[in-house]
Chain A
Amino acid sequence: MAQTKYLMSNGLAFSEQRDMETLRKKALKGWHLKGFRFMGYELEYGEPEDVIYSIDYRVLAPDEEAEYFDMFSSAGWTHVCSEYNTHIFKATPGTAPIYSDIESKKEKIERLAEPVKWIVPFLVGMTFVFWLLFTFSSGVVESISRWIFFFFLVLTIPALMTLFATYYHRWKKL
C-alpha cells in the first residue's frame, strides 16, 4: 500500500501560484501529487523529484481530450490529474510555460470564474430570500428559515470571495 497524505489548497482563485509552489516543495521531499481531494490534493510518497507544476482550466468534450493532452505532452508537460475543468501538469524545471501569451492567459482566468459567476447570483438570491423570511415571520417558519439563511450565508461568502479574487487577478496579475 502506497503511503498517501492530504494537502489542503489555499484556494486556486486566490493563490494558484502558491499552491503550485507548495506542490513543488512537497515533490522535492518525495510527496507527489496524485489527485484532487475535497478542497485540496492527495499526495503519494515516492522518490524525491525536482518538478514544476502548472494548472489549466478547460471544459473538454470527450473528443477533445486526446488532442489537448497530446499538445501538453509534446511540449514536455506530463498530465498528472484532472477534475471537471481543472487539469494539473508537471514538467522538469526550465520547460517553457504552458501559457506564452497574455491574451490566452487572461482567458484562462475568465474560464476559472465561469462556474462561480453562475453560482454567486443564485446563492446571494437564496440568502436574501431566507433573510427576508426569518425577519418577517415568526414561530417555526422563523427558526427554520433562520437556519437555512445561515446555511446559504456560509456558502455565499466564500463564493463571493472567489468571484472577487478572479476579478482582482484579471486586472492586477497580468
Chain B
Amino acid sequence: MYKIIDAEFIAPNVRKIIIEAPKIAKKRKAGQFVIVRVNDHGERIPLTISDSNLEEGTITLIVQGIGWTTQELNSLVAGDFILDVVGPLGKASHIEKFGTAVSIGGGVGTAIAYPTAVALKQAGNYTISIIGGRSKEYVILENEMNKVCDEVFVTTDDGSYGYPGFVTTKLQELIDAKRKIDFVLAIGPIPMMKAIAEVTRKYKIKTVVSLNPIMVDGTGMCGGCRATVDDKTVFVCVDGPEFDAHKVDFATLERRNRTYREDEKDALQRHSCKSEEAILKAVNEG
C-alpha cells in the first residue's frame, strides 16, 4: 500500500499526485516510470515519474484522467492509498552535454519532459523548453520549467496565452532564427511527437521521444508494449521508453494504442452508471 501525501488538480482533469514510495524516490532517474494498480480489481498502467523528494521519500506523478483507471486515480485524495506502485522501470534518459538542448512538452507530456530537462541542465546544457497546451488552463509546470531552464516558451493552440500555435511552430521559429540546437526531447501526444520528428529530421537534429504504449507487467515479460523502431521490434518497457524520434514507427504505435478503445469507453460508461447508482442510493438512504 502506497499512501497519497498530497493531490491537487493543476489543469482541467490533470492531477498532481504525491505518493510515499521512499525506495523509488531514491532510485529513480529522469525518464523512468512506475506501474500503478489502484485496487485489487484494477489494471496495471505505466506512469512516468515527474519528480521525487528524497527527504520526504515521495514521488510525484502527473495524471491526465482519460480512461476509467486514470479517472479513478484522480479521484483519490491525500490520505488515500494506492494498492501497488512498482518501479523505477525502464531505462533512464540518456543525458550528456549536448550544447543547447530543447525540451518540448505537449499537454501533460510536459510533466514527463520536466525531469529530463532538469537532468539536461545539471549536465551543463543550455536548456530551452517549449511547453504547449490547448489553451492557457492546460499549460502545466511553467514555474517549475522557469526555475531550471535558461529560456521557456509557452504556446497555446487557441492563442489564449503565450505564443499562439503549436510547439512545432515555436521550434521551427527557433531554427529559422538560426539558433544552434544540438538536441531535442519531445514528449506529448503521438501526433505532436511525430510532427516534431518531421521538423528536426530535415536539420538532422538528434531528437528523442518517450513512448507511451499499453503495458501489463512493465518488466519485459509480456511483450504487449512492443513498438517498431528502425524496422525492428522493441519492448518499450525494457528497451525504452525513450527512442530516436527519427526511427520510431508512430503509425503502428498509434494503432496499437487503440486496441482497447471500445473497452475503455465501455468501462467508463459502466462505471459512471455505477457511481450514479451509488449517489442515488446514498440519497435514498438519506
Physical interaction between A and B: no
